[in-house]
Structure 1
Amino acid sequence: MPVARQSRIWPSGGVHLWPSGGASAAHAHPRGHLVYAASGVLSVHTESGTWIVPANRIAWVPAHSTHHHRAHGETDMRIVFLPAALARRAPDRPAVFLASGLAREVLLALTGPRALDRGARGRLHRVLVDELRTADEHPIHLPEPRDDRLRAVARILDADPADASSLTVLGHRVGASARTLSRLFASELGLTFYEWRSQLRIAHALVLLAEGHDTTRVAHACGWANPSGFIAAFTAVVGTTPGRHRRRFTP
């Protein structure tokens, strides 16, 4: 498994430069921390599911939460540990926030090469937390199924997100009726099958864009019959078009 090409860690944060496919081992920290991809795309895997974190999102991982990261495309990963007093103002569960321009610049300043004294760092921490408290939670989240039949459906579509099989057809493949699967999606994941599949496809699209593939290829690989439908769906979830996202956030 590829490892980080370069890492700098200090008590309040760190920087990891990951090659595409690089991943950390499962771990936890005694302090809550923010995770940001200045370029590339990160997936943050937790016990409750996977969050996809493109460069217009900031992820929050509470203290003692077991997790690991994976990089998609060349990824510049930034980490900011929050003091306990500020961490109490963040959710007690993993979360992903839309990154404002100010939040992004503050986070880059906190993890940049310029040395900051304790006072300056504290002020920037407070600004960053204030920005996130007013930001919308905007996750691209793939909840982790518990039922074996849902897990089997997830494996099928994760291997081929362009698979357009109906829930009835998928049910035949995993040994469950469409009604049973529909009920399980609602009760376990809080989503309809179609909402979940759309999240899965957008997550795969972000990964493929980070790896350098063009919009048309990504659209077809992720199950859209034409690029215009993909662009509309991607923009509704991510907040920008695939082309703009790729130009701005991929190295």
Structure 2
Amino acid sequence: MSLERLDLTGPTIRPLGHRERIEWHDHAVHQLVYPLHGVLRVHTGRGVWVVPPNRAVWLPAEVPHAHQADGPTEMRSVIFDVAALDEPAVVQVGPLLREVIRALSDVGDLTAQHRFHLEQVALHQVRRAESLPLMLPTPSDPRLVALCELLTGDPADQRSLHELGRQVGAAERTLSRLFRAETGFTFPQWRAQLRLHHALGLLAAGRPVTRVAADCGFRSPSAFIEAFRIAFGTTPGRYLDG
């Protein structure tokens, strides 16, 4: 993995086209990244975070990461000299934090004192915000990597772990143990998380909910809506409206 150090001296606003990618890099400062519009996928060495609207990702200094947009996305970034959290995390963005990020990142004349106070509010909001389980862990075992690539290529694949194991050359029990050891998820949990990640990209591209449910392998639109609501705190329809 080629890594570039990108120097950030202030907040940024960067429009990204569908599937546009910012390759692996890190920063000397802490960063709060917020997609005002669209969906952002943030890759780290631990896995992939999916960041829909009303969510932000905290990235500590010197953590290598890459970004990719699903659908037209406006990525806003605010930097800090002090840490709010020790590890990368996706946090919920309420109305106050959203407006603070807007104020800090919009082009305008903020006095140094005003900026300092807004940054303190942002740090407080991030520290008290609920960290959301939106990460898809990346395994390292070659058999798991092959299996995960199969499902990433077709999240609607309904084959069991036993059937997939025959294709990648590993027993179901071995794969089940490896999933828990390397991702912290059971295989069904990992596959459910993959499908929700894929669903966000399809929704951002304007696909209807019924089509997204089928393309992601959910047994019915209602099952998809319920899984989406549990994970993201809203329904796909309201997500699209927002």
Superposition TM-score, scaled by structure 2 size = 0.95
Equivalent residues in 2 for 1:7-156, closer than 5 Å: 11-84=9-82, 87=83, 90-156=84-150
What residue is the counterpart of 2:179 in the other structure? 185
Query: Is 1:160 matched with 2:127?
Result: no
Query: Is the 2:21–2:69 contact (alpha carbons within 8 Å) kept by the matching residues of 1?
Result: yes
Letter in 2 for 1:105: E
Query: Is the 1:37–1:75 contact (alpha carbons within 8 Å) kept by the matching residues of 2?
Result: yes
Query: Aligned equivalents of 1:214 and 1:105: distance in 2?
Result: 30
Query: Is the 1:52–1:139 contact (alpha carbons within 8 Å) kept by the matching residues of 2?
Result: no
Q: CA deviation at 1:10?
A: 7.0
Letter in 1 for 2:28: P
Structure 2 unpaired stretches of 5+ = 1-6
SS of the residue 1:163 aligns to: coil
List per-residue Cα deviations over 1:209-242 (Å, max 9, x = no partner). Answer: 0111110110000001211110000000011000
Query: Aligned equivalents of 1:10 and 1:200: distance in 2?
Result: 32
Q: CA deviation at 1:47?
A: 1.1
Letter in 2 for 1:52: V
List per-residue Cα deviations over 1:166-213 (Å, max 9, x = no partner). Answer: 110011111111111110011111111011111100000001101111
What residue is the counterpart of 1:3 in the other structure? none
Q: CA deviation at 1:114?
A: 2.5
Q: CA deviation at 1:64?
A: 0.9
List per-residue Cα deviations over 1:100-157 (Å, max 9, x = no partner). Answer: 1111111111111322111111111111111111111003111110101110111011
List per-residue Cα deviations over 1:24-55 (Å, max 9, x = no partner). Answer: 12111000100000000000011111100011
SS of the residue 2:163 aligns to: helix
What residue is the counterpart of 1:4 in the other structure? none
Query: Is the 1:32–1:62 contact (alpha carbons within 8 Å) kept by the matching residues of 2?
Result: yes
SS of the residue 1:26 aligns to: strand
Q: List, as ranges, runs of 4+ consecutive aligned residues in structure 1 with deviation greater than 4 Å.
A: none
Query: Aligned equivalents of 1:21 and 1:105: distance in 2?
Result: 27
Q: CA deviation at 1:98?
A: 1.2
What residue is the counterpart of 1:227 in the other structure? 221
Q: How many residues get paired?
A: 236
Query: Aligned equivalents of 1:77 and 1:54: distance in 2?
Result: 11
Letter in 2 for 1:94: P
Percent identical pairs in the alignment equals: 45
Query: Aligned equivalents of 1:170 and 1:184: distance in 2?
Result: 14
Letter in 2 for 1:77: M
Structure 1 unpaired stretches of 5+ = 1-8
Superposition TM-score, scaled by structure 1 size = 0.91
Query: Is the 1:97–1:139 contact (alpha carbons within 8 Å) kept by the matching residues of 2?
Result: no
What residue is the counterpart of 1:194 in the other structure? 188
